[in-house]
Every structure is written in structure tokens, then in C-alpha cells.
Structure 1
Amino acid sequence: MSLYPVPQDLQTEVAFRLPDNFRRPMRCSWADFNKAGQEVDCFLEGPSFDHDGNLYLVDIPFGRIFKVTPKGKWSVIAEYDGWPNGLKLHRDGTIWIADYKNGILRLDPRSGMMDTIVGTYHSEGLKGCNDLVFASNGDLYFTDQGQTGLHDPTGRVFRLAVNGRLDCLIDTVPSPNGIVLNKAETQLFV
């Protein structure tokens, strides 16, 4: 018995596959901790589409940002020393990245230039940013998950206002991961 209706069955199919030339089967420091030392060839996360239908993805262990065109052509638009977890496209065309190692980054896909938007809070490092979402007014909300969980419920949710003010909205979340606003932008779901 359920309070909710039975979910509808949907037909699905694979839209894109990572081409073999982008696979890097090897051990890496991210996989040593997160995948018990297994070899990984990629770990894709954070899908976001632009207005032209291009799909952008992060590759956590190898610090890569991929672009996939509507026709399925893959390219690496950035590669850097980091562990990107999520990304969102800003209305100005830049790509904002929640990076476990480096905080909140901004990438200009035209020039390839990247800069740090939020790297610390009250002069201390972040735990490990995971995901982010923009409000229609330009405010940025993001999760700071790190290795928190039920054993350590100290994950955080932040708001970076358009005026540059950074506020910690809550600091008692066990493993805050995804984040989204409701359509009216009156509620934040984590």
C-alpha cells in the first residue's frame, strides 16, 4: 500500500556513450577513496543543457568538463586539477562548477579561462562542494557535502547573493548532495 500513485513505466534508451578515446582506465586518488581503489575510466556527473541543446558533464576523478552536441559529438572543454561534482550554466554563458577540491569555480567556455568564485568561508576551506542551482534573480545556492553523513551531520548549504554576500543557510545536513528550487522559488530542496 502506498500513499502515492503507481509510477508510470517509461521507455528509455541510451542517448550518448563516452567515446573510448576519452576513457582513462587507471587508479587515481579519487577512486582510491570513493571506489575502494578500483580502476576507473571516468565518473560522469552534473548534466546540464545550454539553450542550443548541448549537454555539459563533469568527470570527477580526472577534472574534465565535457560538451556533447545534439548530434553526439564529444569534446573536452576544460581539464584541470580538481574533482568537479556538478555544474550549471549561468545566463551570461559561463559555466559554474561545484568542485570538491576547489570550491565554486567559473569557466568561460569561449576562452577556457577559469576562476575561483568561492574557495573559503570565514577563512576556512570548504568541505567539498557537490551541486549548485541559480535562482532567477542570479543568487547561487550550493551544497558543501564533503564526507559528511549520518555519522557526521555537518554538511552545509550556502547562498551566494548577486551582491557577493555568502551566507551559510544550514550547517547540520547529513551529506547534502543535489539541490533545486521549486518553480515559485519559495522552497529549496536538498
Structure 2
Amino acid sequence: MNTLEELKYYCNEKQPAGAIMLTGEWGCGKTYFIENELRKELEKTHVIIRISLFGLSSIESIKNEVQLNWLQSYIDEKSETKGLGEKGIKTLQGLMNVANEETKNKFGPVGFIINKLSSLDIVDFIKVAPTIGNKKVVLVFDDLERSSLSTNDMLGCINDYCENLHIHTIVVANEEYVKLKNSYKGTNKSIKYETIK
């Protein structure tokens, strides 16, 4: 079975038992493969949401990225115009920022209420689900080796999506650099990468 068939088979499982990892050297085309080949094969039945872990430094930042990207995909799937999700979220965030600035000391109690409402983070209200409409969601966590977080913490966070939320999850990484990264940070108290894998 080739890589595409293996990923399609995994994405079509009724309930994933865990995540699957796509490995390869930097520049070999892993991300291109996901964004073009896999997305094209599954576009009628699945929504692929790719999250780059590059530079993310907390579990909360990973969860926020997942929630925002899930919401963008949800809006795109429900609208006739692709890309509307990202534009809509940016517009809403911009309006909230303007409301924040404009109402700080204006409009008395009404301004105070608007100011408080505008300080809410829309991400707090997004519940990530394993489907959008009648399509299965596939979360792709790219650049595992480039995150600032420990591999154990990241894989624990990612595991929550596949084990508890039953979302098909693909991890994309240059495995040699993950091993190298962990060899510098390894202690007797941490679980080794080989065990987690």
C-alpha cells in the first residue's frame, strides 16, 4: 500500500484508535503532499485542517490555532465562497478591537458593557467536533520538530484530539530532528520519544 492509500485508509476508519505520522526529510514534499494529493482525494468526504506547530510555545496556543482553523473551515464549508471563513474571522476580530478602543470611556454603562463583550475571545466559544456537516474532519499537525514545546507535551495535546474527540489526526514531522531535539532535552523523568511513538 502506498502512502496516499495508507492515509486514505486511516482517514476513512470509523473511529481512529490513534494518530498516524507522516515522516520525511525537510523539503521532501510532505506538506505539499497533504495540501494537494490528500486534500484532492478526500475533498468530497473530508475537511482537512492543517496546523503548523512552528513557533507555537504553549498547549493553549495549539488549541487556539485548532479552534480558529476549525471555525474557518466550518464557515467555508457552510458558505458558497471559499476563503470567507478567514476573512470573516479577521473582520470580526477587527471590529472587536475597534469596539474596544472606541468604547473605553464613551457611552457610559452601555460603553462599559460593549467594552466587556468586545474583550471576549471568540475562540472560547468554539467547540471542535469530528465532523463539519456530513464531512469528517482530519487534523494535520505539521512541523512537530519545529515547536518550542517538548515533544511529550505536544503529543499529549494532539492525543486529546484523536483519543478523546475521535478526530482523525495526522502528525507531519522530520523524525530525525524530533529525535535530536529530544536527545538534548531528555531527562530520566521524561518519557522517551521511542516509547511515545
TM-score when scaled to structure 2? 0.22
When you count strand as a share of all residues, which structure comes out higher? 1
Q: Relative contact order (alpha carbons < 8 A, sep ≥ 6): 1 or 2 greater?
A: 2
Q: Find the structure with the greater CA-based Rg.
A: 2
